[in-house]
Chains A and B, each alone.
Chain A
Amino acid sequence: MTAAIFEIKRFAVHDGDGIRTTVFFKGCPLRCVWCHNPEGLTAIPQTAHYSHKCIGCGECKKEGFTPEDCLGEATVLYGKEMTVEELLPILLEDRDFYETSGGGVTLSGGECLMQADFCAELLKKLKENEIHTAVDTCGFVSKESLDKVIPYTDVFLYDIKAYDEEVHIKCTEVSNRIILENLAYLDSLNKKIEVRIPYVPDYNDDQIEKIAHFLAPLQSITKIRVLPYHNYAGSKYKALDIVNTLPEKLPTDEEIKIAVETIKKLTNFVVLS
């Protein structure tokens, strides 16, 4: 069994507690207008070309060229089929750091649970090695998929992008009903959940109170993070030659502060930005 991986990020600092290695799985069921990882949208491998890094070496014109031959590292392949056996030693390399910082491994994407069987197998191996595991999910997955990884997942990093269905559809092209149901399901199982709310002006900035009301009665949330939207992924869209959907308007520090305070007021959770 293999999975399409588009990045393995070591020393990931903000993908759960401590120092972590984050595995980015390719393929996502959502189409968020503000997507920061457009290279993770489709499940099939993609080649991107970062023209500002091109040194004109001409390697890419040669027969048999692979992105690894690109001297300027301008051409990049996103999406490499990897087995659990290939991934595991890489993920164990930093175990010392996981121990000293309370970190571990995070599966992210894209949406990693689109490859739930693989994730379950990988997470199981990680738990056998006593590694703390986190699954970063948009929640738009089947209950069966969730069930596969639940036994081996220490914490879910769970994205909530909107409460109102029509807003969610506008922002991501899909309904959020499954997402909200799955969150309630995880909560009922007492799984640790860190909720992440991207804050995108003009898109979901009116959803904060509603999301907070929805989250307030839940029992298993360890913290909530408000993630200020940034538009730094622009170069990736260009390199992938896909339409850049990134909104122009950025949130102000004040807006983020207000969002954090609002959630704090309406819930008993630790709220960070």
Chain B
Amino acid sequence: MQYINQQSYEYIKNKYHDTGKPFDPYKRFIRHDEIFSPDSGMAPEDIIEGITENDAIYAELSHPVRKARALEYVLKNTRISCDGRDIFPAINMIDRPLSKTIIKKWRDEVFTETIPDVEARRSQLERDGIVAISPDYDHSVPVWDRLFTLGFSGILEESEKARASKSRTEEEDAFFEGIKITYEAVLSFIDRLNAMATAPKMKSALASIRRGAPQSFYEALLLSYLYFMISEHIDNLQVRSLSGFDTSFYKLYKKDIENGVPEEEIRSDLAYYFLQFTAIGNYWNQPVYLGGENEDGKAVINELSYLFLDTYDEMGLYNPKIQIKVSDSTPRGILLKALDMIRRGRNSIVFVSDKTIRRAMERAGVSPEDARLANITGCYEYSSQGSYCSGMNYVNLMKPLEYALHQGHDGVTGVMAGLDCTPPSGYGSFEELYEEYKRQLTRIIDVTVDTVNGFESYLSVINPLSMLSATFPSCLEKAKDAIGGGGCYNGSIMTFGFLGDITDSLMMIKKYVYEKKELTLSDLVSILDKNFEGEELFRRKLLADRGKWGNNKERPDAIAVDLVNFIVKNLCGRANSRDDKWNCGFHVARMSYTQGKLTASSANGRLYGEELSKNISASMGQNREGATAAILSATKIDATDFTCDAALDLGLLPSTVKGEDGLEAMYGLLTSFCRRGGHALHINVFDADTLRDAQAHPEKYQDLQIRVCGWNVLWNNINKEEQDGFIRQAEALV
């Protein structure tokens, strides 16, 4: 691997888990004990025990202080390593020891003792596949620029200054004390690392970031890495962006270059940095973004942006994942570079429209400057710097239809989970059914709001976020935890999944039951209840119908847009319990699989348990009119009506996007998407595995196109032998 020698590469690959053993990326936060010397700290099991014992000493104190003491205990005692094969240290206790001990305890206390009814409702909603809700300790981004300009010690000083600026209540003082203990523990931890480090580069960098702000590009990387590791892996708070990299790291990059640091060294440092995240290997990947605009309206993109992408590209990595904020001023060159990477299979890149994000935020009352500086916070979500918006509330849009068709009962379990309503025979028109659907959906929104509001005010009790809060100016000013309403914005997001499947299901009911009158709604419900058993031809008919969402067809698109507008109207602006408002988004994370398993067969021909549609994309295999039609449909949704995501997944084949023409076409798709007000675009160039699956399950891949010679054909229109040829070609792709 370029920039990293083989020995180092092997070491880092095994730094976070033993690659010789089976690794489940879905298992969150594991350790690799064997690489640590027992002399470097306490055994992991003893630390776990010790956290609880240590906490007993502080039992009378506030949670921020107790958590800070627990973090301090871990940082003081965890085994560490500063191996010469790496330029970043290793920490043993990265399996979230606090979440197994005190945070678990506080969580149990809150959910089982303080608000058991809320928890009962939450778990019921999840079990029934209606809404998957979890307390959101996942969407934080520190104000990186403050960390880079102040360093850990400067952050601490600022906090202490704020603490001393006025008289404080006991609660306020505890907030600042939590920060003080936390940051002092971080500084002492850096001392520990420094004492162990032997490589001059690491040693002097540790000494420097112990003193204050990082002074070089590498020091900034090191600070970023340590903040990330401590927050995400010990302090129980995910760091959902490593910053707008070409903004936050640029000054120090320039300084290094001016000071004569060879560019190759900077590339190598970056390569080591990237590899840490690849080696951690969690399925959710580590986000970092590029691009956006400066104050003067010019693109942020600079030589560091290119160096970043080049290095990433040359290493052939998939993690961290990269978002690019695209604006009118974004240079064509960087987009072509990114698109070229995607078509070569380096497709961990998502494009987000800067214009759409800014307009959505400004419409929601965010200042233009805050909107310009918005972070990309996770997959496609965005938020102001110094804000904490929660959003782990995934509504299954298919369930309200199950209830409307089953007098309030779940279509899978038969349990009464919705509102009582008329039997199918009672709906005189599609409009009546649709109204009932909306009534059932409204109730789900109501219950979700109540449930989430019921526990979100306790989030800072369960897991106070001293480390993060210290980086938020508004938290210092308000003396309030970032997750307890201390952020400059503190919204809550509900995300609605499977717009494609619900639109298509409603559309098929409208067409075949109420317009063509080919069967009654009661007949259809019986067919669905039997999971289409004995009705395969009818199912095929539904699947073959081209009047589906994602194909720029007027009728289905009108339903989808109406549904989105209904959700926006119904939810956005409601009060949450952290002094802010609710908003909505449309991403599904892994819910298309997990909630899909709990969702009955549907009127668009989907079988019980099958995968549901992703984000705002067409349902599986139903984007039959190709990429342009998919974009035309998706951008009928006004993504500035809400302040979360509306991401479109586009599947393209390598043969479609090959050559100069192919790259230009990708650029055209992206530019049109942004121009039309789209929010996020993920272009997926399919690999051999997908094609093999497409061969085995053609019905799922009706929209898959393939470029043959002078034309594109649908995958399903060529025979097996021809498909085999393409699979072989795809296998040859690196």
Contact = CB atoms under 8 A, between A and B. Distances in A.
B656 A13 contact: yes
Interface string A229-242: 11011110010000
Interface string A84-127: 00000000011011011111000000000000000000000000
Nearest to A57: B537
Contacts of A235: 717-719, 722
Given A13-B657, A71-B544, A272-B660, A228 B709 contact: yes
B668 A101 contact: yes
Interface stretch (A48-56, A139-147, A166-174, A201-209): A48-56
Contacts of A103: 665, 668
B665 A11 contact: yes
A192 interface: no
Given A93-B552, A228-B709, A11 B671 contact: no
A258 B656 CA distance: 24
Interface in B612-660: 625-629, 631-632, 656-657, 659-660
Interface string A36-73: 11000000000000101101010000000000001111
B626 A101 contact: no
A96 B540 contact: no
A50 B628 contact: no
Nearest to B552: A93
Interface stretch (A15-23, A181-189, A214-222): A15-23
A227 interface: yes
B707 interface: yes
A126 B523 CA distance: 48
B224 interface: no
B719 A234 contact: yes
Nearest to A103: B668
Contacts of A265: none
A31 interface: no
A264 interface: no
Given A11-B626, A97-B668, A232 B718 contact: yes
A36 B711 contact: yes
B683 to A, nearest CB: 13
A234 B722 contact: yes
B628 A272 contact: no
A14 B121 CA distance: 55
Given A71-B537, A232-B708, A102 B718 contact: no
A77 interface: no
A22 B628 CA distance: 13
Nearest to B720: A52
B662 interface: yes
Contact of A13 (B536, B707, B709, B713): B707
Interface string B312-327: 0000000000000000
A33 interface: no
A50 B626 contact: no
A200 to B, nearest CB: 11
A227 B540 contact: no
Contacts of A72: 540, 544
A19 B669 contact: yes
Which residue, A19, A70, A196, has most C-beta atoms of chain B within 10 A?
A: A19
A150 interface: no
Contacts of B544: 70-73
A36 B664 contact: no
B522 interface: no
Contact of B710 (A15, A53, A73): A15
Interface string B537-561: 1001100100000001000000000
B672 A100 contact: yes
B667 interface: yes
A73 B631 CA distance: 25
B192 interface: no
Contacts of A9: 711-712
B709 A232 contact: yes
A272 B710 CA distance: 13
A52 B719 contact: yes
A94 B628 contact: yes
Nearest to A52: B719
B669 A97 contact: yes
B85 interface: no
Contacts of B627: 11
A102 B660 CA distance: 13
A263 to B, nearest CB: 17
A101 B667 contact: yes
B76 interface: no
Given A52-B720, A101-B671, A10 B626 contact: yes
A14 B665 CA distance: 9
A131 B669 CA distance: 17
A264 to B, nearest CB: 16
B159 to A, nearest CB: 48
B628 A10 contact: yes
Contacts of A266: none
Contacts of B656: 13
B661 interface: yes
Contacts of A17: 661, 664
A101 B664 contact: yes
Contacts of A18: 664-665, 668
B718 A93 contact: no
Which residue, B661, B705, B712, has most C-beta atoms of chain A within 10 A?
A: B661
A100 B675 contact: yes
A12 interface: yes
B716 A53 contact: yes
A8 to B, nearest CB: 10
A13 B675 contact: no
A19 B662 CA distance: 9
B659 A14 contact: yes
A11 B672 contact: no
Contacts of B657: 13
B676 interface: yes
Contacts of B705: 11
A93 to B, nearest CB: 6
Contacts of B720: 52
A11 B650 CA distance: 13
A100 B628 contact: no
Contacts of B540: 55, 57, 71-72
Nearest to A36: B709
Contact of A14 (B629, B707, B718): B707
Contacts of A196: 710
Contacts of B631: 97
B615 to A, nearest CB: 20
A235 B665 CA distance: 28
Interface in B130-153: none
A228 B707 CA distance: 13
A12 B712 contact: yes
A230 B676 CA distance: 37
Contacts of A229: 709
Nearest to A250: B725
Contacts of A19: 628, 664-665, 668-669
A183 to B, nearest CB: 19
A19 B661 CA distance: 8
Contacts of A228: 709
26 contacts: A10-B625, A10-B628, A11-B628, A11-B665, A11-B712, A13-B656, A13-B665, A14-B661, A53-B716, A70-B544, A71-B537, A94-B632, A96-B632, A96-B676, A97-B628, A97-B668, A97-B669, A99-B672, A101-B672, A227-B709, A232-B708, A232-B709, A232-B722, A235-B717, A235-B719, A235-B722
Given A11-B705, A103-B665, 19 more contacts: A13-B662, A13-B665, A14-B661, A14-B710, A18-B664, A18-B668, A19-B664, A37-B711, A52-B720, A71-B541, A73-B716, A94-B628, A100-B675, A102-B668, A230-B709, A232-B722, A234-B719, A238-B719, A272-B659
Interface of A: 9-15, 17-19, 22, 36-37, 50, 52-53, 55, 57, 70-73, 93-94, 96-97, 99-103, 196, 227-230, 232-235, 238, 272
Give the 3 A-B CB pairs with smallest separation, nearest first. Answer: A101-B668, A100-B671, A71-B540
